[in-house]
Amino acid sequence: MVGSITQPKIFVSYSWTTPQHEQWVLDLADRLSGDGIVVILDKWNLKEGQDKHVFMEQMVHEESITKVLVICDLGYQAKADDRKGGVGTETQLISRRFTTTPRRKNSFPSFVNTTKTENHAFPTSWRVAFT
């Protein structure tokens, strides 16, 4: 069963910071998929002509998504803090969902901080809520 208890389904939120960073995210998504996790990624699932804002809303609110995996780097943090681009929209949606709904262990975002200094790439509004 796709996205079941035995096969988790995650949405990956990340910034298109650099081509190298995008490739790192794609490699991670490939590895997770190879490990049996259903990965929803804009590069794979957002179709040409599809409304990206609707896509982001669906991914954040979709019941079958068991985790939101947030890949934090300085580019992500800057876009989130400035509310710019897809990251700005996603972080607002994620913040709203996870600060206004009952906390469920499997619903919280998981973070990968790609900087060496702890917390430095987290969006400012998330530092208290999620760290």
Determine the Cα–Cα distance for residues 80 and 130; give it in Å rounded to an integer. 15
Q: What is the pLDDT of residue 56?
A: 79
- Domains of the chain with CATH codes: 9-124 (3.40.50.10140)
What Å distances lie between residue 107 and 24, 42, 68, 101, CA to CA?
A: 24, 20, 7, 10
The pLDDT tens digits along the chain (131 residues) read 565 557 888 888 888 888 988 898 999 999 999 999 999 998 999 899 888 878 877 877 777 887 888 888 888 888 888 888 777 777 777 766 666 655 444 445 556 656 565 556 777 776 666 55
